[in-house]
Amino acid sequence: MKALIKGSAGPGLVLADVPDPTPRDDEVLIRVRRAGVCGTDVHIYEWDDWARRRVKPPIVVGHEFAGDVVRVGSLVTDVKVGDRVTAEGHIVDGRCLLCRTGNAHVCPYTKIIGVDRDGCFAEFIVMPATNVWHLDDKISYDIGGIHDPMGNAFHTALTADIPGAYVLITGCGPIGIFAAGICKAAGAARVIASDVNDRRLALAAAMGADEVVHPDKAEEAVRRATDGLGVDVVLEMSGVPAAIHQALALVRVGGRVQMLGIPTTAVPIDFATEVIFKGLTLYGVVGRRMYDTWIQMTRFLRSGAFDPSPVITHRFPLDAVDEAMRVIRSGEAGKVIFEIA
């Protein structure tokens, strides 16, 4: 099959012919139709410090996808050939304390497709049947292919108390843009979204954010909307130190900050004034809750209250990987997807 691989330690990805993968007895083989491109793929493409430490070439890259099941292992009972599916890309051991207490999203034995084992920028991928998620007939492969990052947004938003809340979203990358629509659909009283990038602010507004602002105007917007009190919830979706400090500053006393964005360096925090005496609750987001987040995501999509399609701005074939990476790095894109079949 054709696959985008990291063939050796160094920058870039190459489209190569590799052997078709074979499912084990408890796995299924999926023909990939759409695959989303994510910041993680950019790190692997660039071969930065994180990628160098974590990724062992040769490996097929990519972890967001949707497609059709074309073969099932002999032990698989609930997935059939022809099923339209996406999948949870975090493969957990299912046996540790975290998995057995309903916290598999933080399983210490997690293996991520496209990072720790072969991924989805390919004609076919094998997945454990337990990770497969069926798509409703009405859900397109495009939307199926972005369930992973959309799930990050659902997890971040819906583990906070959103109905009736004043919400600030710092960072309108694809995940922040999804979150604006999710918070509105979940009944937020007002959603303010900040970013330095006007294109992305426009997408957040299109998804339903009530007010979109540059970071230097966020304080004023929050003060005006909340009579000076601060927002009930901040979704920190940038990973940028200035935005993290702003999140802690603009949340109200006793409020909650949902930490999704991943800073690339240590961020000094004055815990006494920024967190403790404000009585804040901080929540670190990892992936998607298995499978609460998936159930919520499917039901929101089914209800029609949340439509993520405007977030997809660019589509490429696999052999245009360099252009896809360029578009993402330029900041001109919402969600970028590969059209594979």
Q: Helix, strand, coil proportions of the chain in percent (round to 5)?
A: 35, 25, 40
Least Å distance between CB 227 and ligand NAD?
23
Least Å distance between CB 74 and ligand NAD?
34
SS (H, E, C) 94-145: CCCHHHHCCCHHHCCCCEEECCCECCCCECEEEEEHHHEEECCCCCCHHHHC
Strand partners, 15: 4
Least Å distance between CB 15 and Zn ion?
34
Residue 93 interacting entry, from ligand NAD, Zn ion, none, C-beta within 5 to 8 Å by type: Zn ion
Closest CA to 122 of 5, 268, 263: 5
Residue 239 interacting entry, from Zn ion, ligand NAD, none, C-beta within 5 to 8 Å by type: ligand NAD
> Letter for the amino acid at 103?
N
Nearer to ligand NAD, 28 or 160 (CB): 160
Question: Which residue sits closest to Zn ion, CB atoms considered?
Answer: 107
Inter-residue contact 114 to 38 (CB < 8 Å): no
Nearer to Zn ion, 92 or 251 (CB): 92
Nearer to Zn ion, 100 or 223 (CB): 100
Token look-up 């900041």 returns: 331
Q: Which residues bind ligand NAD (CB under 6 A)?
A: 39, 152, 170-176, 194-197, 200, 215, 237-240, 242-243, 260-262, 285-287
Residue 107 interacting entry, from Zn ion, ligand NAD, none, C-beta within 5 to 8 Å by type: Zn ion
Q: Which residues bind Zn ion (CB under 5 A)?
A: 92-93, 96, 99, 107
Residue 96 interacting entry, from ligand NAD, Zn ion, none, C-beta within 5 to 8 Å by type: Zn ion
Least Å distance between CB 133 and Zn ion?
19
User: What amino acid positions are annotated as catalytic residues?
Assistant: 40, 43
DSSP for residue 81: T
